[in-house]
Amino acid sequence: PRDRMHEIVEKSLKDVGMWEFRDRIPANLSGGQKQRVAIAGIVALSPKIIILDEATSMLDPRGRQDILNLVARIKAANNLTVISITHDIDEAAHADQVVVVNKGEIIEENKPENIFGETAKLQSLGLSAPFTAQLIAALKQHGIDPNSQYMNDERLIAWIKKFVSQK
């Protein structure tokens, strides 16, 4: 509704942490700030589904993590479905569901822990395993078995803390 446009824009910019930059020329914003403004524009439309195409590809690691955290927060707050197209394995590892596409063909569709636990299959597709899967494999090589092929960052950190506290 046009009569609520200013209110909606203000709320969207505040939701993504960009309200204080509202008067800046977009060309003078950082890559991460530009992504936040783009996300605010999408959120202002109140969609049920957001499709992101390489949303973090041009960002430094901190900017990438900030955008991923922002998208997760907005997803939860607005009960959204987010479809994220990415080549970043560590980013894909945070998804609820992963679809692996190779040359336009769906190769695999499953939960991250099922896909990323199969490192040999990933390598056959020319993909590397996420950092956490690589770390679990290295731990196993040193006789430490987390009893899992794959864990997300939070679960692996919790497991490591528990493991260290038992030593």
Q: Output the average pLDDT for the chain.
A: 89
Contacts 24+ apart (CB under 8 A), 51-54: 51/82, 51/83, 51/84, 51/85, 52/82, 52/83, 52/84, 52/85, 52/86, 53/85, 54/85, 54/86, 54/87
Q: Is residue 109 part of a domain?
A: no
CATH at 73: 3.40.50.300
Q: pLDDT tens digit string along 72-103? A: 999 999 999 999 999 888 889 889 999 999 88
- The token pair that represents 115 in the structure block: 């896909």
pTM of the predicted model as reported, rounded to 2 decimal places: 0.77
Number of domains composing the chain: 1
Q: Is residue 163 part of a domain?
A: no
